[in-house]
Amino acid sequence: MESNNQSMQEKELEEKRTKKTKRDLQIYIIVFFAIVIVLIIFSGLIQQRNMREMQSSQQKYQEELEKTKTTLTTNSSALKDLQENYLALQKSYDDLQAQNKQLQTQADSMTADSASANETISLYESLLEARRLNLVGKNKAARELLNGIDKAKLTGNALKLFEELDKKIKR
């Protein structure tokens, strides 16, 4: 009986140990799951905070992007206006250059005409002076003046006067 008793005691002891082990195992599992749940909640909170920060950053970047687009549009518009103004000024400059060239050509033509007119006036003055000298009897001085006049450049009444004086003074 003793052996039976001993065997029972061992069984009871074994049962107590098994219960204690089961209970310890249950406590470990409960603590482990509690830690896992706390970690899951903690990571959820951190993820939620990170999402808010990311949304805030994304909103700031979006605002900066909109500002940059607005600035770019404004700058593009200003550049287009500047290009149009430049082209208009370039056209005005080219027109003024053409007008300047035309006026320079006219001025050169007028200078040439003026020189020709001055030469003609000088010829007529010489012819009139020769006539005056002839009238006062200074034929030799009148002849020298007539010899300095280019007959080919005279026309109309001036040519007639030259020929008359030329005939009178030869006599």
Nearest to 165 by CA among 138, 119, 120, 117: 138
Place of tokens 């990170």: 50
| Mean pLDDT on 149-166 | 79
Q: Note whether 131 and 163 are within 8 A (CB).
A: no
Q: Inform me whether the pLDDT recorded for 53 exceeds 70.
A: yes
- pLDDT for 82-110, tens place per residue? 888 989 989 998 998 999 899 898 888 88
| Neighbour tally for 145: CB within 10 Å | 21
Q: Note whether 134 and 100 are within 8 A (CB).
A: no
Encoding tokens for residue 170? 């030869």
The Cα–Cα gap between 113 and 156 comes to: 19
Between residues 70 and 117, the one the model is more confident about: 70
| Mean pLDDT on 155-163 | 80
Q: What pLDDT, on a 0 to 100 scale, did the predictor assign at position 1?
A: 60
pTM higher than 0.75: no
The Cα–Cα gap between 142 and 51 comes to: 118
